[in-house]
Every structure is written in structure tokens, then in C-alpha cells.
Structure 1
Amino acid sequence: MRNKKQVVEAYALAKDLYGRIGIDTEKAIERLTQIPISMHCWQGDDVTGFEQTDCQLSGGIQSTGNYSGKAKTPEQLRGDLEKAFTLIPGKKRLNLHAMYLETEGERVDRDEIEPKHFKKWVSWAKGHNIGLDFNPTLFSHDKANDGLTLSHPNKGIRDFWIEHCKRARKISAYFGRALGTPSVMNIWIPDGFKDVPVDRLGPRQRLKDSLDKILEEKMDPAYHLDAIESKLFGIGSESYVVGSHEFYMGYAVKNDTVLCLDAGHFHPTEVISNKISALSLFTNHLLLHVSRPVRWDSDHVVLLDEELREIALEIVRHNLVNRVHIGLDFFDASINRIAAWTIGTRNMMKALLIALLEPTDALIKLEQDFNFTKRLAYLEELKSYPWQAVWDYYCHKNGFPIGLDWMEEVKNYEAEVLAYRCK
């Protein structure tokens, strides 16, 4: 690929060109370095987890493909993440699900999880100087087989999941205290019906009551933040989802929780980028699950497409970097899983860099002056500005692979590590 001299020379030209429109590329690079992206552990093992159970993946979640070499143990998953970290520049976090606990072979049910079951993850995170985020796991369990959990009409089942979420909050706070950065804990449930229900209100009343019980104990936001995530429909809940966008938006605003927007959880013609600025007026924090739906919530690897760029622009343009928590959520088992992490996370960072290189103040001034002709001309011209040269220099400056150089490292890791997992 490009040698270092070419990278430096291309960057010098780009720096000059951006400087002419008032953009300091060095400042943009420095700001990019400070924006954390929470990578998701479940890309590495197809949402399998490490529980001592025979439960199959459920809750409308599907991981398709059988690419060889997936992680089968916590040690393998951490090793794969470490490899991905060497290929991805910038500030990183890791998002864990409760099903990734480590129990030393003991059968621990979801309502029995404790911080001690995640101490190895905390120790590992300390060693890599990253923060951890968390999710209770309300799927792939025999008490979720009806398609209902926190909204279940059976009080015993609701109480089981309420206890699970309460314990998950304590684990999340443990992460925050141990690592010195707040853990964002996101509650997503698969609850819904395949066909049209008669009673839409009852399940939502029960869900509200369950959430009230879960969040009853106040926790220090310096260590833990509660988030709730909506969905439009899912496999097995095509006609009705209890936790709709309207339900969770209302709950988050009323109770001052973090609202999670998942890019695949809305109508195919809806985008989450257009919701960010509106919701920022009524919520203190937002959580994003950046994914790529293809006709439905299929969680494809994130591309550097128009919507990803719009998401990044909304965050940067409105100074929401400290209020919007960026997490990734895709799981593709049809390609090398480390490559999936690398492609998706680097694309998220590229989108943020493009946003940081925009002369937003000048564009807003044109807009306020109703000079829409010049605004459009500028926006279109910026699309061909040499942001790639700035990105390559950013990778070079921080010692990370430039361009496609990372693919050779993935290929070698596959031959030296992943291949032996199939034997």
C-alpha cells in the first residue's frame, strides 16, 4: 500500500486545503482521539456467551454464517479482541452481555449473577486501559421462551428478570468503580407478539412496573448509567413490540434515563440520525447502537454510507460528543470476525473524522443568511475533500495499519490462531 513518505506528503496537501476553509486538521485529529467507541463482544462469538446451559440463541436474534475460527472460550474472545485493538486506532471501550460471565464451570442462573463472575473482564480491561459497558441478557433462556420477559403476565417470571436486571446494575456499577469511567448498562427485551394482540396496554403497564422496580435503587452516575432500548418489530414479534420507541422515549424523558437508539430498530425508511438533535433537547444522554439494517434489523457490518456519516455529523455539529455514547451492534458470521470488528469500527471513526473536518460554523452562517445555493455547493464539494489523507496520517501517527495493511495481519492471525480452533 502507500509508504510513509507518501502518507506524510498527502497529509501536508490535505492540511493546506482544509486550512483554506478554516479547518485545523491537527485539532480534528486530536478530537477524534478522545471520542470513545464501545465495541461489542458478541461479534466475536456469534452471540453465544459462556453460560453453562444448553439454551439456544433466541429472542428474534440470528447470527448467520459459519466462518471458521469463532471464539469458544473467554480467553479466545479476549485474544481476538486484543488483535482487533491493534488494528483500530482511537479510544475504545468494550460492551459485554451478562451471558459472557465466567463461573469456573459452576451453573449460575441469570438471577444469581454477581460482580465476581466478571472480575477477569475487569482485570483485562484495566490492562488495556479501556472502559466496560454492560447489558442484562433477557433472551436465550427457558424463562424467555414465551417471547415475554419483563412484561410477562406470570409474576414469577417477571420477578426472575427483574432480579436479573437489578444484579446487572450492580455489576455495571462495579465496572465503573473499578475502571474509573461510567458503565452504560442497556436494557433490551424481546417482548412482543407474532400476531396482533387484543391487549396492547397490559404488557406495557407490566413493563413499566418492572422497570420502576429495577431502577428503584439510585446509583451514582459517575459509575453507572441506565439505558433503555426500543424496537419496531422482530422475528416472532412482527405485529407488536411491548417496548416501542414511544414507550421508551416517554419513560426515558420522565425518569431521566439514557435512551438507546439502534439503527436497525425502526421502520426501513426511518433513520436515527434525524432523531439525535430532537431528543438531545429532552434527554441528558443518548446511547447509539450503530448497525446496518438490510430490509430489517439484520445487524450487518457498518459501512461508511450516508447514514453513518449523518450520525457522526449530528453528534459533532451539535457538540454532543460528551452526551452521546457510541456503541456498535452487528454480528456477521459469514466473514472473518476480527475483520468485521476492524471494518465496522474504523468506518465509525472515519465518519467522525469527516464530521470533524466540516466547517460547520460557516455552513450554519450560510443557512441563517438563507444562502442555500452556496450551502449546497459547499456540502457537495466537501464530499470530495481529501479526508482519506488525514485518516491515513492519523493511523500512521498513532502506529496503526494504513489502508488495507491490516488485512495481512488478520490473514496471519487466522492461519496461526483461528485455524487451530477448528481441529
Structure 2
Amino acid sequence: MTRLIEQAFELAKQRFSAIGVDVDAAMAQLDQLPISMHCWQGDDVRGFENPQGALTGGIQATGNYPGKARSAAELRADLDQAMSLIPGPKRLNLHAIYLESDSPVERNAIEPKHFANWVEWAKRNKLGLDFNPTCFSHPLSADGFTLAHSNPEIRQFWIEHCQASRKVSAWFGEQLGTPSVMNIWVPDGMKDLTVDRLAPRQRLLNSLDEIIKEKLNPEHHIDAVESKLFGIGAESYTVGSNEFCLGYAASRQTALTLDAGHFHPTEVISDKISTAMLYVPRLLLHVSRPVRWDSDHVVLLDDETQAIASEIVRQRLFDKVHIGLDFFDASINRIAAWVIGTRNAKKALLRALLEPSDQLRELELAGDYTARLALLEEQKSLPWQAVWESYCLRHDVPADASWLGDVRNYEQQILSQR
């Protein structure tokens, strides 16, 4: 099998070379593009603060596939298994509720020590860590408001939580030698008609300003703000809308988070990347699959996933765009979901790197739209799969669907015992 893959790879290199694409350079670039896997796929967004508590904030994980992680140790073991089947560089995105402590810790009192085991695990695995304050599934978020709350005491609690989260995030970056991107998303909004839409947004703006007023080393920590169209329980009004977050990120020069499921069903984030990059220094992408709006299905190698990857590569945004995943499917094996989604995101990046983008850009500038379309379509049939399989072999992971056998064995030996 290995010999056949190697033979196919050599032929593929020749095919791509004929259209001016350096396959080895593309693979080398892919090795510089880590994807931040999301920890919450492994336990249905429960965390370890109060794993029996109800999910709120418009978040819902559907399904009850056996074997979800019940502790941080189990979650790390599951991540180890998933990451062993995914080629190339990876990161991990943590939420604040994935802390570890022998006694209860309020969210505004979290400290780096509560995530020490995660950092040690990341060091062993040569991973970067990203972070998120958790502004949902808490008694003080029960009425649907956090950083935009009209009660100053509740609002202050969430400000302090986000400030504490920034310190954790910066510690990640300091310890691991790669900046942690901390994404702030809040569920604030209303189910029905809203009279005053301005006041909550003014409060959210003030809260965010208070959160980020302490300057942190950008080599350790990057702030990002994430918008949403609406959520369950906030169908009529979302405080942190796209316009709000884009305006905030542009005016404060923070990173902007674009989530594939957080817009109108006819919108796609691939078309927003080039616009946002004119105004903000960095983007954080949450790549997901919104079957029905923000349903967070496992990422496929579909048109929009490919369009997102192509936009990153065509504009050479490698140092300005951070790629993360965001889905939580509890109806299938959770480890398989990680593997499928992350491998697909990497496949999309590889296909984009194998595109003759310089030639296509020249045709476009010359006004030869006929040749541009013809080449765009013809290059889709080139043997990128052979390059992918060779890339997997170089990273000592299965090149085909045989990885599913490893997941099944892990399910029988580990997950079925939980």
C-alpha cells in the first residue's frame, strides 16, 4: 500500500508541476498551518465545573452516543487518540469550564493553576492552547444577559471572569511559546420584541473595554470578539451582532471571530474574510457546518469549507488568520467526529495550496475570464488525493479510512467501559 501511495504521489507531483504548482512547497506550508481542535466535542460542552448542570445560552448538543468524557483525564486521553489519526500541526481550544480543581471555583476566580495539567499535556504533545471565557450555563446568566446585563453587580462578575480568563490565556502563551487566542462570545439577547436596543450594546461595549484595558503581551495573548445572529432564547435580539463585533474589533484593533454558523442561512463567512481583513488585524475562524443555521454539524469537505480555505491561501493570510473548529455532535462517536472534521479542514487547506493561484490571478487581471473558469474547473480533477495520502504517511497516520478501525478499537476497549 505504501509503495502504491508513493508511486501515485510522484505522478501527482508531475501533474501539478505542469501547471506551475510546487507540491513539496504546498506540503511544507500545510505543516505551518495548525488547526485548533475544540475540546467541547468530547463531552458535549459540559466541562468539569458542574458537568450535570443544564446547558444554556442557546447551546444544545443532541444525541447520546455512549462514551463521552467524564473528566479532564478522560478527555485528554480521547484527544490523544483523535490527534494520533490527524496529520500535521494541531492546537487545542479550551473553555473556562474545563478547569481542574479539588474544590468549587467561581468563574471570576479562575487562575492558571486550575489549568496546569492542560499545559503539561500540551507541552508533552507540542501543542498550542487557545482559550474562551464561559459566559453561559451559570446561575448569573440564567436570564440571558451577562456582559450587557442591566444589573451592575452581575455585569461586574462577568467582567471579572473575562479578565481572569485573559490571565489564563496569557499564561498559556508564555508557557507554550505560541500566543493563545482568547475568544469572547456572550449569549446576551432577548426572545421577543426589544424596546431599547442601544443600552445593552453600550453596556457590552463598556464591559469589553474594561476587560481588555490591561495591555498584555501579544506574543502570549490575542483578544477576539465573536458575533452571532440569534440563539435559542434570543431569537429577536442579539446584543453582540455582526455589526457590533466588526465595529468593536476594528475600532479597538482586536481580532474578529467569524463562525460559519452565526449568520443568515444565505450568508457565508468565506466572502467576509477579505472585507474584515481591511479593518481588523487578525481573524479567528470557527469552521463548522450549519445544516439549519447554527446546528454545528461535523465539518465536511464541502463547498464552503473549501471556499474558506481557498480565501486564506489565495490572500496569503497565514499569519493573520487563526483556524479553529466548532461543532459538537453527540449522535456519533465523538472521537470520530474530531477526526473527520479536522482531516476535512486540512484537506481543504491542502487543496487550496495546490491551486495555481498566481496563474489564476494573472488571468483575472488580464480579463481572461474564460481561461480563469476553465482552469478553476480543470484543476479540481487533478490528483490532490495522492498528495494527501503521502502527507498522511509522512506524519505516520492512516492515509485512508482505516483510521476508523483504530477508533472502533478504542471504543471497545475504553469508551464502552465508561
Report the TM-score range of the alignment, normalised by the length of the smaller protein.
over 0.9
Aligned residue pairs total 418
Contact 2:265–2:293 (8 Å) recurs in 1:
yes
Structure 2 residue matching 1:403: 3-state secondary structure = coil
Contact 2:46–2:52 (8 Å) recurs in 1:
no
1:145 aligns with 2:159: no
1:26 is matched with which residue: 10, 24, 32? 24
Q: Hey, what does 2:87 align to over in structure 1?
A: 89
Task: Write the deviation string for residues 270-316 of structure 1: whole angstroms up to 9, x where unpaired.
Answer: 00000111111111110000000012101000000000000000000
Structure 2 residue matching 1:383: 3-state secondary structure = helix
Question: How far apart are the structure 1 equivalents of 2:16 and 2:104?
Answer: 58
Question: How far apart are the structure 2 equivalents of 1:102 and 1:397?
Answer: 35
Q: AA paired with 1:360? A: S
Q: AA paired with 2:66? A: S
1:338 is matched with which residue: 330, 335, 340? 335
2:237 is matched with which residue: 218, 237, 240? 240
**With structure 2 as the length reference, what TM-score do the two structures score?**
0.99
Contact 1:55–1:142 (8 Å) recurs in 2:
no
Q: Hey, what does 1:349 align to over in structure 2?
A: 346
Contact 2:46–2:53 (8 Å) recurs in 1:
no
Q: Hey, what does 2:155 align to over in structure 1?
A: 158
Task: Write the deviation string for residues 389-423 of structure 1: whole angstroms up to 9, x where unpaired.
Answer: 100011012211111010000010000110100xx
Q: Hey, what does 1:55 align to over in structure 2?
A: 53
What RMSD over aligned residues (CA atoms) do the two structures have, in Å? 0.8
Q: Hey, what does 1:68 align to over in structure 2?
A: 66
Q: AA paired with 1:19? A: S
1:200 aligns with 2:197: yes
5+ residue gaps, structure 1: none
Tell me how far 1:28 sits from its aligned partner.
0.7
1:136 aligns with 2:133: yes
Question: How far apart are the structure 2 equivalents of 1:306 and 1:52?
Answer: 38
Contact 1:288–1:326 (8 Å) recurs in 2:
yes
Q: Hey, what does 1:228 align to over in structure 2?
A: 225
Q: Hey, what does 1:184 align to over in structure 2?
A: 181
Q: Hey, what does 1:283 align to over in structure 2?
A: 280
Question: How far apart are the structure 1 equivalents of 2:175 and 2:15?
Answer: 45
5+ residue gaps, structure 2: none
1:304 aligns with 2:291: no
Tell me how far 1:53 sits from its aligned partner.
6.8
Q: Hey, what does 1:396 align to over in structure 2?
A: 393
Q: Hey, what does 1:17 align to over in structure 2?
A: 15
Task: Write the deviation string for residues 200-240 of structure 1: whole angstroms up to 9, x where unpaired.
Answer: 00100110111111111111100000000000011111111
2:5 is matched with which residue: 7, 10, 29? 7
Tell me how far 1:52 sits from its aligned partner.
4.1
Q: AA paired with 1:151? A: A
Question: How far apart are the structure 1 equivalents of 2:62 and 2:261?
Answer: 16
Tell me how far 1:55 sits from its aligned partner.
2.9
Question: How far apart are the structure 1 equivalents of 2:342 and 2:330?
Answer: 16
Identity %: 62
Q: AA paired with 1:56? A: A
Question: How far apart are the structure 2 equivalents of 1:205 and 1:70?
Answer: 40
1:244-263 to structure 2, matched below 5 A, reads 244-263=241-260
Question: How far apart are the structure 2 equivalents of 1:339 and 1:402?
Answer: 15
Contact 1:317–1:360 (8 Å) recurs in 2:
yes
Structure 1 residue matching 2:381: 3-state secondary structure = coil
Contact 2:12–2:384 (8 Å) recurs in 1:
yes
Q: Hey, what does 1:411 align to over in structure 2?
A: 408
Tell me how far 1:80 sits from its aligned partner.
0.2
Question: How far apart are the structure 2 equivalents of 1:296 and 1:278?
Answer: 22
Tell me how far 1:367 sits from its aligned partner.
0.6
Task: Write the deviation string for residues 76-131 of structure 1: whole angstroms up to 9, x where unpaired.
Answer: 00000000111001110000000000012x01111111111000101110010100
**With structure 1 as the length reference, what TM-score do the two structures score?**
0.98
Question: How far apart are the structure 2 equivalents of 1:55 and 1:338?
Answer: 23
